[in-house]
Amino acid sequence: MKLSEYREFGDYLDGSCGCYEIGHVKAAVFYTKYVGRAENLWDRIKTFMDESQCHNDYITVKLKAERHTLWFHVIKTRRYKYMEAKLQDRHGIGETGLYIWNQRVERVYLTEPPTPW
C-alpha cells in the first residue's frame, strides 16, 4: 500500500492493532526500512502523513521529497508489542540492521508470555 494513499485503506486499518513496516518498492520487491506497532493501525499510519505528528525524521524527509515512493504493509495481531520487538531483535536496527530507520529495540516486550490461541 502506498503511504500517501493510506486513506483508501481506512476500512481495513481502522480499529485493528498490529505491526507495520514502511519502506520502498523496487522491481516489485518491498525493501523495509522501518518497523512499528500500533493499537490502532489507522490512527498510527495517518500520523506519518502529518509532519507535525511524524516522529521519524527519515520518513519525514522522504515524504517531503517531490517524488516520494514510500510504501507500507501491516500485520494484524493482538501481540503487536511482542511482534515488533521480535522483528527488531531478529533483523537488527540502525545502520547495521534491516530496520535502518529504527533507533532502538523495544526489548521490554521480548519477554511477553505466549498467548494461547
pLDDT in tens, 60-100: 888 877 676 899 999 999 999 999 999 999 999 988 899 99
Residue 54: its pLDDT value, please?
Answer: 85
Residue 53: its pLDDT value, please?
Answer: 87
**How far is the C-alpha of 51 from the C-alpha of 77, rounded, in Å?**
27
* Distances in whole angstroms, Cα of residue 95 to Cα of each of 29, 35, 54, 98, 102: 21, 14, 21, 8, 9
Domain ranges in the chain? 3-111
Residue % of the chain over a pLDDT of 70: 92
* Distances in whole angstroms, Cα of residue 92 to Cα of each of 64, 66, 72, 86: 26, 30, 19, 10
CATH for 3-111 (3.40.50.11400, 3.40.1440.10, 3.30.450.20, 3.40.50.2300): 3.40.1440.10
Residue 95: its pLDDT value, please?
Answer: 87
